[in-house]
Chain A
């Protein structure tokens, strides 16, 4: 079967120069026809193509940074995104465009008007609709290679083990300190790398936490170390500063790049240090954790 698909790809491919190199390239149409002919998914076709030196055109502009091997690893990976709000929406969009094999999106909320300023999938037409449902319908149009799994629920200590199962990376796009600490504990127990990102006003922070790292425990004020005390969730200063359109996109971009680095092994991650940015009065700091 594999040999037949490769032979078909050979037949459908054409030479094209990308980044100064000539690749045997595969169009979207060819990928789809191949998938249909052999009864497999387009992702399986893309993976096989990359494995055998073909370049699916949709990934042409990724190849300069990922290489064929990095793109293949990403297409075989599973990333779970907790929260589909300001950060989470952009994260999902970027993961899909980069060609992440499977994206699990967890959020129970519906869109409201206050989301319109910054949330990637929020439009005036979808107010009142489930965030994960809207994300699913838009993301499947962006990249059909990506399998989108949606979970319409609020993550808690009971459901997190199953939500994190088999994930290569977890993206923390939650919005309370207490939930983030709970997620860090669950990731530690599940042996999964967590990429944390948070925003407030003009500020952004991102760090990559491997199981067993102190991570967010190094950062949170004393008052927040007992999560959900009295049933209340601990939030940061963003309650007062709000979140503009720019910072969620910035956090998301850095978090997705971190996730890609963890998955592909390419580059230097933010493990053991937190990147802190203040884009109003320019601070760029790396805080050791």
Chain B
């Protein structure tokens, strides 16, 4: 029963992201660790309660989608590292990844 519901959820998720139905494949839930710089917390919509947290993703997710899921305006993001290495927005996340979301800052 759980599996069936999960499959429906994956389908919905893919459908929202504009994937073709035939491209749907089952993916296990995936736990990632996220660290968001303090200055971005209040800018997220809705605001994020804390800087460091784990997140259970229910399907494939790239860096850009993660930022969107967290409600962080992408124009405020300077760079994103995955396991301490800078990654492009289309980098697909894997189970156990640690992601740091670093703001674009310019104050002097």
Contacts and interface: CB of A to CB of B under 8 A. Distances in A.
Interface of A: 83, 85-88, 173-177, 180, 197-203, 205, 218-224, 234-238, 240-241, 243, 247-248, 274, 276, 278, 280-281, 283, 285-289
B40 interface: yes
A282 B33 CA distance: 15
Given A281-B51, A288-B86, A221 B104 contact: yes
Contacts of A175: 106-108
30 contacts: A86-B107, A86-B108, A87-B108, A177-B106, A180-B106, A197-B108, A198-B106, A198-B107, A199-B105, A199-B107, A202-B38, A203-B103, A205-B78, A218-B79, A219-B104, A221-B77, A224-B104, A236-B76, A237-B43, A237-B76, A238-B106, A243-B107, A276-B37, A276-B102, A278-B37, A278-B39, A281-B37, A283-B35, A283-B100, A287-B86
A200 B108 contact: no
A37 B50 CA distance: 65
Contact of B103 (A223, A224, A237): A237
Given A86-B108, A175-B106, A205-B105, A285 B81 contact: yes
A16 B39 CA distance: 49
Contacts of B68: none
Q: Which 10 A-B pairs have the closest CB atoms?
A: A238-B107, A281-B51, A200-B105, A236-B106, A175-B108, A201-B39, A280-B38, A236-B105, A199-B107, A177-B106
B98 to A, nearest CB: 10
Contacts of B76: 221, 236-237
Interface in B89-108: 100, 102-108
Interface of B: 35, 37-40, 43, 50-52, 74-79, 81, 84-86, 100, 102-108
B38 A201 contact: yes
Given A202-B39, A286-B84, A287-B79, A238 B51 contact: no
B51 to A, nearest CB: 4
A276 B79 CA distance: 10
A277 B77 CA distance: 15
B28 to A, nearest CB: 29
A278 B35 CA distance: 11
B86 A200 contact: no
Contacts of B79: 218-219, 274, 287
A203 B108 contact: no
B104 A203 contact: no
Given A200-B39, A283-B37, A285-B102, 4 more contacts: A173-B108, A201-B38, A201-B39, A236-B106
